[in-house]
Structures are given as structure tokens and as C-alpha cells.
Amino acid sequence: MYKYEYLPPYFLQNGVTMTAYTALWANRGWESKITHLEPKYHEVIFTGGQGVPIFGKVAIPANAHSTIVGTYGITGELDQQWFLRILGCKAYAQGYAVVLFDWRSHGKTAELSPTLTSDGLYEGEDFVKIAAAAAKMGCPPQFWFTGYSLGGQLALWGVKAAADLAPKDIDIAGGAVICPSLDSLRSLTYLVTHPFGKYIESRIAKELKKLAWKIHAAYPESLNPEAIARANSIWGFDEELVIERLGFATVADYYQASSGLELLPKLSKPTLILYAADDPLFDPAIIPDLETAAHKNPVIDLLLTRYGGHVGYVSSKKCQNQYQDPDQWWAWNRVLEWIEARRNQKIAQVSVANVLKMPK
């Protein structure tokens, strides 16, 4: 486990404050808070697992050396996902091809299919299928999967699926995630016991309901409008609309099956998990289990910080100077730093292996 001394500005040294700041203010003028312009993406419709169409955007710089594939959290769509777009700017400038996508039932993907979410059970295969298609488009190996919040859980499932399903000619090297959802049952139970959590849960539930109505408008026969009307919470959304389609008797069974925490022992490719101890959206009781799982699996690098809130990780000027970062986006800087180190490590290993193969 890595223990980094991340330090936010003084007024953000509280998980709730950081999370609220990230959700409400940090996106304002984000383009001026990075040193690189956004790449020119071209739109692509990928075919994910079970033939589900997935909308994505691809940008390949000249002399690209590897590829990052990423998505976002529980609600939203690509054009609104400024935090993910920051990754695209930074990664492209460092020579990575970038593939960003609307995951199942989100954004333009929801317009292409009535397929609902599965919290990673099928989205993991989507990551692999997208990487394979991107490789044919010219995106170079190695491929790295990333995401944050619930998207982080999806990316972890992608890393697992890469070991099980990826074609041998597609080099999926690993993944890096920020504040991933790891135990939906515990965290959702925890979330609704606090005023701030109740507010966040209510906002998310309203967005999920909008998402369901959007799918119903495009595919009227796919969702029961009475079920949508009853889906007034995150739990209710999954209970009314998701679990029956996936074959689960209860929401608790579904959350157990898709749990990121249960997945960690099964990962076999290098994986970075960046997690804040003061994340107000997740049950703090998860942290000891996360530390134990990371300690037992040598492919996992856990970067556990005291501060950070949910995903935000805005750094102070002192912190930026300490790490020689070009901007305040501490989490993405660490993700790219870690990927670059693993990428170079793998290149070195290949070079040594090639030398050993040379005739004496």
C-alpha cells in the first residue's frame, strides 16, 4: 500500500466539503485549470458484451504509445463529464490514445439500446470489447482501464474480464480507479443515515428516474411506466427495473454479486486503487477490508489518503509544488504517473526478455 501525503486547500480538508465543492464549483472554468487543450475526438459506436451498442469517443495522438479507456460514475453523459474530460486532455498530451464511453443506459448509449445497467457484471466485458475494437482502429497497446465512483467499479470488472475474455493479441495491461464503489449494500445503507448522504442519494435517484424515462421514451415497451414511477430511490431503481432482468431475487443479492470488494482477490493484472478515508458516500467500515484485500493481492497498489472526499482530490499549491504537478488535479496526476511507471516497467521486462532470447 502506498501512503501519499496528499494535501488539499485548508477549506477542503473535510470530505463533505470537498465532495460538495467538486460537485458544485470545481467544474466552473475547468478548461482554464489545465495546461492542455481538449483533443478532437471522433464519435464511434462500439459493440459491447451481448451485442449491446455503446457510444464512445476516440482520440489518437501522433506517435501514440498506449491507450486509456475510461468511463464515469452512476449518472450523467460524456459531454457533461468534465472530470473525465480532464483525464482525456492530460492523457492525450502525454501520448496516450483516449477512448471515453457512455456506459449502459447512459447518455447516447441509452438512445441506442434499452439495456439497463448491471454495475459491472456485463460492463466488464464492454471494456474488453471496446479495447479490442479500438485496437483495430489504431489505438496502440498497452490498454489501461479507468473510471471513478461507480465507474471505478466497472473498470475493476473490466480488469477482471480482461484476464478471462480478452483476445490474446490485445494487450490489456491493467487498470487505475479513483474512489471506486466497492460495497453498494453497506455504502447505500450508510449513505441514507446522514443528512448530506440523504441529499446526495435523493439527487442521484432523481437522475436515475430521468434516465429510465428517457429509455422509456425511446423504447416504450422496454420499461413499465408504473415501475419507473415507483423507483424513488437508488435501491428502488434497482428493485423495480434492474434485478429481475439480471435474474436476481433481491437487490441485496445483486449488490453482493457485483461487489467490487469481492472482486479484488480475483484480479490478476496491475491495478491502482486511489481511495480517500474521508469519502462521505461510502461506509468507512469498508476501509479495513479494502486494506486487507490489497495486502493479500500483490497486483493491487492501494493509495489510501486521509483527505480527498468523493473523487475530488483538488490539491493545494503546496501539494502541487511537492509533486511538481502542473495543475490541481492530484488524482489524475497520480493515475497517469502510476500507469506510466507500469508501462515503462513492462517495456523494460520485454527488452530484457528479448536480450535473453538472443543467440550467444
User: Would you state the pLDDT for residue 169?
Assistant: 82
Residue 216 annotated as catalytic: no
Rounded to an integer, the average pLDDT of 294-323 is 96
C-alpha cell at 126: 464492454
Question: What percent of the chain is modeled with pLDDT above 70?
Answer: 95
Minimal CA–CA distance to 251: which of 231, 267, 266?
Answer: 231
Q: What are phi and psi of 182, to 5 degrees?
A: -125, -25
Q: Is the pTM of this model over 0.85?
A: yes
- The residue to which cell 425511446 is assigned: 218
Residue 312, pLDDT > 80, answer yes
C-alpha cell at 356: 535473453
pLDDT bin (cut points 50, 70, 90) of residue 2 is very low
User: Would you state the pLDDT for residue 356?
Assistant: 53
Rounded to an integer, the average pLDDT of 193-220 is 94
Rounded to an integer, the average pLDDT of 286-295 is 97
Residue 8, pLDDT > 60, answer yes
How much is the mean pLDDT over the chain? 94
Rounded to an integer, the average pLDDT of 200-217 is 95
Residues whose CB is less than 8 angstroms from the CB of residue 41 and which lie 6 or more positions away in sequence, other chains included: 57, 58, 59, 88, 98, 100
User: Would you state the pLDDT for residue 360?
Assistant: 59
Determine which one of 105, 118, 149, 233 is catalytic.
Answer: 149
Q: In this structure, is the dihedral angle defined by the CA atoms of residues 16, 18, 19 and 21, taken in order, positive or negative?
A: positive
Rounded to an integer, the average pLDDT of 88-92 is 98
Residue 167, pLDDT > 90, answer no
Q: 64 or 346, which is more confident?
A: 64
Determine which one of 66, 181, 183, 310 is catalytic.
Answer: 310
Residue 351, pLDDT > 70, answer no
User: Would you state the pLDDT for residue 348?
Assistant: 67
pLDDT bin (cut points 50, 70, 90) of residue 41 is very high
What's CA 281's distance to the chain center, in Å? 15
pLDDT bin (cut points 50, 70, 90) of residue 358 is low
Q: How many Å apart are CA 249 and CA 234, to the nearest integer?
A: 17
Determine which one of 126, 279, 301, 327 is catalytic.
Answer: 279
- The residue to which cell 495543475 is assigned: 327
**Which of 2-16, 113-127, 242-256, 304-318 has the least mean pLDDT?**
2-16
Rounded to an integer, the average pLDDT of 173-197 is 95
Residue 310 annotated as catalytic: yes
Residue 295 annotated as catalytic: no
Where helices occur in the chain by DSSP H, the ranges are 15-24, 82-93, 109-112, 123-136, 150-165, 184-191, 195-218, 225-230, 234-237, 243-246, 251-258, 260-263, 286-296, 317-323, 330-357
